[in-house]
Amino acid sequence: MNFLNNTIIYLITLLTVLIGCKNEAQTNVALLNDSKLKDTLEDANKTFINTEKQRITSYVTHHNLTMQATGTGLLYSITNATKGAMPVSNSKVTVHYTSSLLNGTLCYTTRQTGAETFRVDHDDVESGLHQGIKLMHKGEKAKFILPAHLAHGLLGDLDKIPPRSAVVYDVELISVK
């Protein structure tokens, strides 16, 4: 009887150790896979960012544009400078704009639908548009190039702007309240 008890205890201990080792091995593999996945995603994002920068630079060069850059990656050029009011956070602005892709595909224009009004830093428009508008004075026109992260990001707008697309805006700031 003692032999049988010792054998059962031995088998239970052996199974516990084997199961425990198997779970630890699976955990290590899962952590390794997570690490590889993270590295792969980081590399893919770096490649995308570099490709996007090259495409934007090619656009600027091809169109002979002189643009300034913000720290966030927004490129802008303001024409017909005025001394009108400048929007700040919470200003209510009215704009006319045309948006297009870097390849020239027209996305949207308010020339057909009428001027758009929104509250700076609060309403649901692209973050790059909020940033760019705050660089303008009432009555000015500007060209903004929004990298994907300042435009519609990973998904696009699920209509005319594809995923991960830079967007070019030609904007006229009509009013600031």
The answer on 78 and 54 residing in a single domain is no
The answer on 83 and 54 residing in a single domain is no
Sign of CA dihedral 103, 108, 110, 111: positive
Last residue of a domain, one of 34, 64, 94: 64
Write down the residue that tokens 């150790």 correspond to.
17
Write down the residue that tokens 């509250």 correspond to.
119
pLDDT by residue (tens digit) across 130-167? 999 999 999 999 999 999 999 999 999 999 999 999 99
Helix (H, G, I), strand (E, B) or coil at 144: strand
What are 148's two structure tokens?
Answer: 């994907």
Q: Which band of pLDDT confidence, cut at 50, 70 and 90, is reported for residue 33?
A: confident
The answer on 89 and 41 residing in a single domain is no
Alpha carbons 11 and 5: distance in angstroms, whole number: 10
Decide: 90 and 150 in contact? Cβ < 8 Å: no
Helix (H, G, I), strand (E, B) or coil at 103: coil
Domain extent for 166: 68-176
Residue 84 — φ and ψ, nearest 5°?
Answer: -70, 180
Q: How many distinct structural domains can be found in the chain?
A: 2
